[in-house]
Amino acid sequence: MLRRLPIYRLLLLVGLVIVAGVSATAIALALGSSEKPPQRPLAQAVHDALSAPAVEGVSASVTLTDHLLEGASLASGSGQGGEVASNPLLAGASGRLWIAKDGRARLELQAEKGDTQIIYAGSTLSVYDAASNTLYRYKPPAADTTASPPTPGKSHETPSVAKVEEAIAHLSKHATLSGATPDNVAGAPAYTVRVSPKQGGSLLGGAELSFDAANGAPLRAAIYSSTSSSPVLELAATQVSFGTVPDSVFSFTPPANAKIEEIATSTTDAHASLPHKYDTGAKPKLTTHGSGPAAIAVLESKLPAGKSGSSAALDALPKVKINGANASELRTALGTLLSFERSGVRYVLAGSDTPATIEALARGL
């Protein structure tokens, strides 16, 4: 004979049943979302990705990991160094990413002091920093109109598996490639490929790319240092969907009081925008020392007599001594930047090398 349950116990029992059902459903969905694609040779996986029908668009939740400047001292008297270090592009953040079929893209990174927006609308690249209420705008040079236009109706030919194998063999002369490792990114079956330089001696450890096994869409990209197994830089999707992205996504209007910074790239524009004290009429000299990933670039710029080429950005960096001269040094997980002046010449050294290696070369110049 069945006992009658008090109403509160009956409600409790019903609640437990519902919770158990929801939990079981969530577990089933989680298990289903961890599906990985079958093992395939790298050439075959790449060929299949390239030959897959193009998606109409990508909408994704993403996470940006950035340890590039972790531990680097950027503090300055004005406090700008702290603002730079807390920028989501340098500190890492979560956000949203949209990519249209025609190449337009928008990345939105969320931060406590305001979101950072990066928008490529087809002809202009815009970066809006809410913390400083500044919009940076860059318009790439116009394409060469003398080039032959594409033939109407002619589609891009996907390289054969043999051609892909040939390209992999050529790249393997300089780098070590992993196979197409079955993976799962943002709930989608994917393949992950790692590329590492064969030549040692640099801080560059390698790079990884994960792409959707069904359509070839990139789902994760990461760069590693040779001193750590964790990525220095990583942009990874946590949720992803495919379909047409509305045009309104790529439209952005900054606040009415925002500062607008137009970025010049042509030699003429950049030269004209320089202060008079930097205008020496002499072209900077660029040389490289070493080869491969460990190569160091050295830029030498002649300064006007009695003038200094220092800047607030360089002055905020930590200082080291190079043959008695004060040098500004930026140390990152992937390389080092060093700048100093001597005998009317400013030297800037940069490379994917340790500070000790860069400083040793600087002392020998």
The per-residue DSSP string of 71-135 comes to: T-----TTSHHHHHHHSHHHH-EEEEEEEETTS-EEEEE--TT--EEEEE-SS-EEEEETTTTEE
Residue 26 lies in a domain: no
The reply to whether 95 and 236 lie within a common domain is yes
Structure tokens of 202? Answer: 């640099």
Predicted local confidence at residue 299, as pLDDT: 95
Angstrom distance (rounded) from CA 191 to CA 211: 6
The reply to whether 216 and 321 lie within a common domain is no
Predicted local confidence at residue 215, as pLDDT: 93
Predicted local confidence at residue 25, as pLDDT: 38
Domain endpoint, select from 226, 261, 296: 261
Domains held by the chain: number: 2
Domain endpoint, select from 261, 285, 301: 261
Predicted local confidence at residue 34, as pLDDT: 81
Residue 109 lies in a domain: yes
Phi, psi of 334 (to 5 degrees): -115, -5
Residue 117 in this model has a pLDDT that exceeds 90 = yes
The reply to whether 112 and 174 lie within a common domain is yes
The reply to whether 251 and 300 lie within a common domain is no
User: pLDDT tens-digit profile of 138-180?
Assistant: 988 766 555 555 554 445 688 999 999 999 999 999 999 999 9
The reply to whether 185 and 59 lie within a common domain is yes
Residue 228 in this model has a pLDDT that exceeds 90 = yes
The reply to whether 257 and 281 lie within a common domain is no
How many other C-beta atoms can be found within 10 angstroms of the C-beta atom of residue 78?
10
Residue 312 in this model has a pLDDT that exceeds 70 = no
Residue 62 in this model has a pLDDT that exceeds 50 = yes
The reply to whether 171 and 319 lie within a common domain is no
Angstrom distance (rounded) from CA 192 to CA 176: 14
For the residues 324-339, what does the mean pLDDT come to? 94
Predicted local confidence at residue 87, as pLDDT: 80
Q: How far is CA 133 from the centre of its chain?
A: 22
Residue 9 in this model has a pLDDT that exceeds 90 = no
Residue 16 lies in a domain: no
Q: How confident is the model at residue 278 (pLDDT cuts 50, 70, 90)?
A: very low
Residue 154 lies in a domain: no
Q: How confident is the model at residue 113 (pLDDT cuts 50, 70, 90)?
A: confident
Residue 214 lies in a domain: yes
Residue 135 lies in a domain: yes
Predicted local confidence at residue 247, as pLDDT: 94
The reply to whether 46 and 104 lie within a common domain is yes
For the chain, the distance separating the N- and C-terminal CA atoms, rounded to the nearest angstrom, is 98
Residue 111 lies in a domain: yes
Predicted local confidence at residue 131, as pLDDT: 87
Q: How confident is the model at residue 279 (pLDDT cuts 50, 70, 90)?
A: very low
Predicted local confidence at residue 176, as pLDDT: 95
Q: How confident is the model at residue 81 (pLDDT cuts 50, 70, 90)?
A: low
Taken in order 103, 104, 109, 110, the sign of the CA dihedral is negative
Q: Where in the sequence is the domain holding 254, given as residue range(s)?
A: 42-140+160-261
What CATH number is attached to the domain comprising 205? 2.50.20.10
For the residues 174-190, what does the mean pLDDT come to? 95
Predicted local confidence at residue 20, as pLDDT: 41
Predicted local confidence at residue 89, as pLDDT: 84
The reply to whether 136 and 253 lie within a common domain is yes
What average pLDDT does the structure give for the chain? 82
The reply to whether 185 and 317 lie within a common domain is no
Predicted local confidence at residue 309, as pLDDT: 57
The reply to whether 204 and 285 lie within a common domain is no
Q: How confident is the model at residue 88 (pLDDT cuts 50, 70, 90)?
A: confident
Among 201-205, 236-240, 273-277, where is mean pLDDT lowest? Answer: 273-277
Residue 246 in this model has a pLDDT that exceeds 80 = yes
For the residues 182-211, what does the mean pLDDT come to? 96
Predicted local confidence at residue 115, as pLDDT: 87
What CATH number is attached to the domain comprising 311? 3.30.200
Q: How confident is the model at residue 303 (pLDDT cuts 50, 70, 90)?
A: confident
- Higher-confidence residue of 51 and 269: namely 51
Predicted local confidence at residue 179, as pLDDT: 93
* Matching residue, tokens 């080039």: 147
Angstrom distance (rounded) from CA 294 to CA 280: 32
Residue 152 lies in a domain: no
Residue 26 in this model has a pLDDT that exceeds 60 = no
The reply to whether 214 and 71 lie within a common domain is yes
Among 30-39, 98-107, 150-159, where is mean pLDDT lowest? Answer: 150-159
Domain endpoint, select from 261, 286, 311: 261
